[in-house]
Amino acid sequence: MLDDILNFIFPTSCIACEEPSDTNGLQLCSKCALLVPKELRDLGESSLIEERWALASYDSPLGIALRKAKFGKDIVLMQNLAKALSEGVRHSGKLKMNTVTHVPTSLRREFFRGFDQAEVLAHEVAHSLQVPHCRLLKRLDSTEQSTKSLDERITDPVQFKAIGMATEVLIVDDVCTSGGSLEAAAQELLMHGVKKVKALTLLSRQI
């Protein structure tokens, strides 16, 4: 009741188009909210990853929401993005794996934001799939991917170390740009006994 009154007196703007926003968790107006996909997009397979899926394009309203969540340190918005991704998983009926893990961000970024965005996404997806979310990877490279060019992301991907075991793993990350981080994570897991790897991201630059 109080939130409704405050929103009427001090209306908020849609983070995507700056029109008056509805009181939805993604901070989008009703028009932009309609652009949020309900189904996952198939990005195809790779040499190491059996299936790759994403919910939306990096240039979509969800991309704007993700950037606001990360750079605005907005954990509530990040959790709502995770719910949108898990809804996509439920609607699609895909990705039946027995373990979920995430591509860990750097400790510096996690400390600065107060959360690891990929971990937030993975936790919600695992809950949706009713399987464990386990931290199976440790990040060895402290260099931020956002500081690298596309070519550098391909030729110099993040390095990981496996710190856990599973047979089938769904790797979750926030954005697929070149796919290098997902490939590096998959390679490390497969080298340490994992039999099958699939990948899921909230956004992709390949859509």
pLDDT at 154: 57
- What is the length of the chain? 207
Same-domain pairing of 89 and 163: yes
Q: What is the pLDDT of residue 162?
A: 92
This prediction has a pTM of 0.87
Percent above pLDDT 70 for the chain: 87
121 and 176 inside one domain: yes
Which domain, by its residues, includes 1?
1-34
* Separation of alpha carbons 112 and 90, rounded Å: 32
Query: How far from 185 is each of 104, 145, 163, 188, CA to CA, in Å?
Result: 10, 14, 12, 5
Cα–Cα distance measured from residue 198 to residue 191, given in angstroms and rounded to the nearest whole number: 15
Of 193, 10, 4, nearest to 99 by C-alpha is 193
Are both 45 and 17 inside the same structural domain?
A: no
The verdict on 41 and 126 lying in the same domain is yes
* Domain match, 99 and 14 both: no
Residues of the chain predicted below pLDDT 50: 8-9, 145
pLDDT at 22: 72
- Our count of domains for the chain comes to 2
- Residue 59 has what pLDDT? 96
pLDDT of 159 reads 86
pLDDT at 21: 82
Per-residue pLDDT, 41 = 96
In whole angstroms, what is the distance from residue 27 CA to residue 123 CA? 22
